[in-house]
Structure formats: C-alpha cells, structure tokens
Structure 1
Amino acid sequence: MHLAVYLPLVFPLLAAPAARPLADRLEPRLATWVLAAGAVVLAAGSTTVLGLLSLAGLVRIPLVAELAHLSPEVLQHDDPARTSVAVLAALLLVVVVVVGSRYLYRRVRAVCAAVLESACFPGQDPLVVMEEPAADAFAMPGLPGRIVVSTGMLATLDATEREILLAHERAHLRCHHYLFSAAAQLAATVNPLVRPLATQVFYTVERWADEAAVSANGDRRRVAVTVGKAALASKHSGGRRRLPAAALGLLGRVRRRDRLDAAGPVPRRVAALLSAKPTGGTWRAAAVSAYLTAAALCTVEAVHDLHELLERARGS
C-alpha cells in the first residue's frame, strides 16, 4: 500500500469552503445533485480507507497471517501503515459503522412511518387538509405521496399563493427530494467533514422546489412573497410541530433548537427568488466532478494496492 491511501481522508477537507458557494451559484437542481453526490463519494472514500487500514493491520497479526497463509515479513516490509495507525483506523471504523447504522435504521423507520401515515389518509387525493389553526404545510413520501396543508395555512394565503405552495410541495414529491436529503445526511453522519455539504442540500432542495413553483406561476416575486408570508404565519401561529422526520415543506427543515426563532433559511431563499435564477456554473460543476473523480480513483487505487500486497504476501 502506498501513502496515497491517505488522500481520501484529506479530500473532504475542502467540503466546508466549497459548499455554500456551490449552493448559491449553481442552478438548484444541479447544485443538489453535485452536493449530494459529493457528500456520498467523499464519505464513502474515507470510510473505505478506514476499512483498508484496519484490514492491513489485522492481517499483520501473526495468527491471522498464518490462517490466511500470508507472509508476515512481506506485510511488514511493504505496508507503510503503522500498527498504531491501523488501530486508530479500526476504532474510527467501529464508530462510523455504529453511528451510520443507527442513522440508517432511524431514517428507514421514519420513511416507513411516513409512508404508513400517508397510506392511512382516506382516498387517493394527494392533497390532505388538516384541521389545525397553526400554519403548516409539508409533503410526505408514500404510495401515493401526500401534501398535507393545515387550515391555518390555507387561511393565510390567497388563491394564487395556495397554488404556489402546492406547486412547491408537488416538486418535493415528484423529484424525491427526501432521498437527496437522506443520502447527504447519512454521508455527514459517517464523516462529519462533509456535514456542510449535507446542510446545503437541505437548502438546495427547497430552492429546487421554489424554482418549480416559479415555473408553474411565472412570477418570481409572488413566489418570494408566498415563502416569506408562509414563514411568518408559521412562526406566529406556532406551526411546524407535527412535521414528520421524512417530510419536506415550503418552510424548509427546522433545527430543533431553532423552532421558536426561525423556519429555516427563508431570507436567503427569498433573496434568491428576488434575483435572477442561476444559470451558469457549468465550469464549477465540472471542477467538482473532476475533484470527486480524483477522490474515487484514489480510493480504487488504495483497494488495488492492498489487493496486490496480499497477493505478494500469499505468493512468497
């Protein structure tokens, strides 16, 4: 194994400074794909390297080497990873597997609960009106998916604004935005260095749905007003209390400690809607693609190096 095996552990360091500019300057749909793919590729690469280093340390144990018919001398001579590094990698890998498994279990449970709850609503109409004075609206994945809107939210908006809200929620269902959010959050769980990418994915899926509402309505300013109006109504009426974990809505995802103070990055979205839709950024997406390709190739090279090391140790 060469020292290049450590590079996939270094690549995620650029996630933090790159996340916000990509989210702001790329077209929202492209930004969502780039950020979510980046989080997954970088997290997968770092996790794979931890596994490789752990395996390299494991086969250097004399008993394991003997059972696998490997030469300890070749392993000690050709493997640059120190025993201390292998032990640290193994400990980190255990943490990654535990926290990743816990998140995946909870996320699957949340989606299943949302699908079940969605199926329990009567009829096949995707729109469900909930008798509640608090202003609330969200889309729930399911078969069929549902758009749940409270009577408080409907009373706040006029007819045009209601159509904008529904167009936004339909975009969440049609484009399966919860899958992008779940994948990015899983990547951030196993590698906290990519958390800025996951945070921006929660923003870009809302921007993606905002632009879908603009396409349906044709008036960027009216969509911006609707987003701001719905956020203010939710804040003053105490909404967002029943939002399921797998759901997405017009107001975005609210961190638990911010429920009483804000309804997500609404001002940032409103500012984006009052500006022209981003159309450039092709070169940025290409640069990110090249970066992720390099990270993936380094990971593949590390796997190949370990395979060759084991073959040499077995053949000697």
Structure 2
Amino acid sequence: MVDVFYPLQWIADKLVYEVLGIAPDTHLAASVNFIIYDVLKILILLVVMIFAISYIRTFVTPEKTRRVLGGKTGLQYHLLASLLGAVTPFCSCSSVPLFIGFVEAGIPLGVTFSFLITSPLVNEAAVAALWATLGLKATLIYAVSGVLLGVFGGYIIGLMKMEKYVADFVYKIKVGDQNKKPEALSIKERTAIAFDNVKDIVEKVWLYVIIGVTLGGIFHGYAPEGILATYAGKDNLLAVPIAVIIGVPLYSNVMGMIPIVESLIGKGLPVGTALAFLMAVTALSLPEMIILKKVLKNELIGAFVLVVSLSIIFTGYLFNIIL
C-alpha cells in the first residue's frame, strides 16, 4: 500500500538528519522527527478536510435543522440529529443560542441532546487530525462511536422526561421565523465560505497543534516503551473509567489532545482507553457545562454527564476488546 504521506516523512528525515544534524537512533531524533512529520501532516489534512466539510455545511443551516427535526420523535430522528451534529460543529460559544433555538422550535429534548453530544466529538478538525495521527481505521471507529454516542445518549435522556429541568425562559423565547428558507448560495459563494472557515479554524488551532504535537513528540522519544501498558493496559479493568474520570473535568482543544493520545497509544495505552479519554475531554469539557448551566438545571446537567460518561466507558471497553 502506497503511503501518501511519504514525501512528508522524507522532508522530516532530511530536516532532522541533514539540516539539523541530529544523530539517528537517538531519543532527540525520534522526538524531533515525530514533531516535524506530525505538524506537517495534520495541518495539510486540516486544510483539506475543513474546506470539504465547510463546503458541504453550507447546505445545512440551523434553521433547516429545526424544520427537519421539529416535533419529531423516534430513534431515526436521534440518528439524523447526531449526523447533523457531525457536520455542524457545536462549541461552547454557540451552545446557549443553539440549545434555545432547538428547544423553542419544538425539537424534543432527547433529540436536541443527540445533536449536542455528537457536535463536539465529530468535526472536520478532529477527523483530519485523527486520520493524520492514528490512521483511517481508528478515525472511522472514532467517528462512528461519536455518532452512536449521540444517538443512544440523547435517546436515554429523552426517555428520562427531564423537560422540567430546562430553564423556564427557554420555552418563552422566540428565535425568528422558523419557516424562512436558507439563502441560495452560488458555487463561488460556498467556496468563499469554505476558504474563510479554513482560515478561521486553522488560525485558532495551529498553536494547539504545535503544542500538542511537541508534547506528544517528547513523550514519543523519551518515555520508556510499554510504561502505560503496565499501569493502564487491558489487564487493568479500571483503566477505562479512570481515563474518563480524569478526562471529564479537563478542558483542552481537541487538536492539542490528539497528538498526545497518539503518543500514549504508541507507548502501550490501549486504543479504546485512549479514545475514551479523548472523548471525555472533548464531549464533557468544564467550560461547556458552565455555559449550559445558563439554560439547564443541575439535575439535567448531571444526567447528561452521567449518561455520556457511561456511554464513553462502554465504548472504551468495547474497542479494547475489538482491537
């Protein structure tokens, strides 16, 4: 199988061994080579994936989402909401207006949470970085897991009938004409939007990429082989829940976490445990909980954290078994 990223490895080798003059087969060479190769690969895939997904996303607006899902119940609508979440990234800055808009428009609470859960987990930046660092197989596993977590997490929350734990003012707000059709955009306009998104997202994440890859590179070059397998391997039955418990209160940009997770896996951390940690950090960040507290009562936030945490733990165990 041809390695499409071979030219990047050639560049990294040239820079490390010839330009920088670092001796091969040393810890320093392994670390610097890892950093150069991963930074180049992640940034290139970021540009490609962000452009492609951003272009597709011009066809999916919050208004269209509300019209499609308003008042609908059933597992198929949880799946649809979760898939929409994957192409409409949800971030802390947009959590309150999106949540208000969906609930006020009549979208069932559980379906709204399916969207809420998947959006921070699966987006073009995460997919690109995972593909660049862990390969296509792990990326597909992560993406499918994120969508399914949204489906079943939202479905369970819907069954719990917790509408009374949404702040009262949410149901009283009107967010505009729900029947308004999205503006028809030309190919040129959609392309311009996609390029703007590439510029905007890359400007926001490039530093996280470099920091994350650097930390991962240091671990890659200097940490003893198998050290994590000893303490967090498959034989440790509590490794996955411990990883999730550690990850839930943390807050980090997903772009900074993925290279670190790659290095942890390379040093012996099982893939399922590593992905569970990544999901916990990404889907249940403390800042998101603080912002959601503006529209959700503690009981609903607690249920959300519990359901998603248990789902992530189950996913981690499952993939440790499969892989």
TM-based fold match above 0.5: no
TM-score, normalised via structure 1 length: 0.32
Choose 1 or 2 for highest CA Rg: 1
- Structure with more strand by fraction: 1
Q: Which has the higher contact order (CA 8 A, sep 6+)?
A: 1
TM-score (norm: length of structure 2): 0.31
